[in-house]
Amino acid sequence: MSILVTGGCGYIGSHVVNQLLEAGKEVIVLDNLSTGSADSLLHGEKLIELDLAEVGKIQQVFKENKIESVMHFAASTEVAESVKNPLKYYSNNTINSLNLLQVCLEFQIRNFIFSSTAAVYGKQENGIAYESSITNPVNPYGWSKL
């Protein structure tokens, strides 16, 4: 059984991939390479270059592989860009995440880890956000991840 890591060629995703491989896990990396680099894959991991907007192709990945868990790190992450181009962020971070979740439900994936961001909490009075803090994003990036 494999762990599918979306955004596995990005900064956080590639580190997670390395840790999973060091723990002896079988990993499949799914990335559209829009900001990540295949050079970050150091151990010959299986890379599927794919955008999460392509639902049929995501379904094919699940049909062709025995996936037990998904770790979702694929996202657009630049706050300033999100203000200039909010639709890109809602499309990539919100709609594409829903696409992935729908396929996970279809294939009865029970283990799903979503990489969120403190941006969903906005500005906290004391400067510290907890998971129990009230969400109050202040930009499209934060809203798209919420």
CA–CA distance, 63 with 85 (Å, rounded to integer): 34
CA angle 73, 78, 83 (to 5 degrees): 125
The three-class DSSP label of residue 107 is coil
Question: Catalytic amino acids?
Answer: 141
What residues have CB less than 8 Å from 118, skipping those under 6 apart?
129
**CA 12/CA 137 separation, integer angstroms:** 22
Q: What is the DSSP-derived secondary structure letter of residue 120?
A: G
For residue 22, how many other CB atoms are within 10 A of its CB? 9
Give residue for tokens 């994003």: 137
Contacts of 85 (CB under 8 A, 6+ apart): none
